Amino acid sequence: MKAKLLNLLTVCIVTIAVLSPGLVVFGIIWERHLELLESQNLACQVSKTSGAIAVTPQTESTPLSQTSIQSSDQNVVNQMVTVAEQYKFGAILQWFFLLTPICVGLGIIFYDRYLVYRAAIFKEQVEMLERLWQQSIEQ
């Protein structure tokens, strides 16, 4: 039992050691990507806001300028929601890449244990049938 536990711990540690540099790099790249998206959204927001301000003095109809400001605010909110969803997706991918090899390793170990268990039961059944056969021959 201790050998199996040691093998399990070894597989987990090796899996983490192999995957951790990739996860670190993926995390850094994902953070930079989100920063880039944020800066692009802010630049887009500033250009839309300055465009709305420039439009307001030229046209004297206030409902049109308020509509353009409201639509730009809705666009900003939609973009922020998109960035938040992308961040959640990145976190899910990181956990997926970390947990998949560990779960596969555990599945292999548990399946091996199941095969050993089934072989032991089969062996016991064969021995019991041999004993019954020997008893029937002796009678």
pTM of the predicted structure, to 2 decimals: 0.42
Q: Interior CA angle at 102 toward 100 and 105, to 5°? A: 110
Q: How far is CA 105 from CA 2, 52, 109, in A?
A: 17, 58, 6
Is residue 45 within 8 Å of 32, Cβ to Cβ?
A: no
Region 99-122: mean pLDDT is: 89
Q: What is the distance between the alpha carbons of residues 96 and 107, in angstroms, rounded to a whole number?
A: 16
Q: Select the more confidently predicted residue: 69 or 47.
A: 47
pLDDT at 61: 46
| Range scoring the smallest mean pLDDT among 27-41, 44-58, 94-108, 109-123 | 44-58
Kindly indicate the confidence band of residue 58, based on its pLDDT and cuts at 50, 70 and 90.
Answer: very low
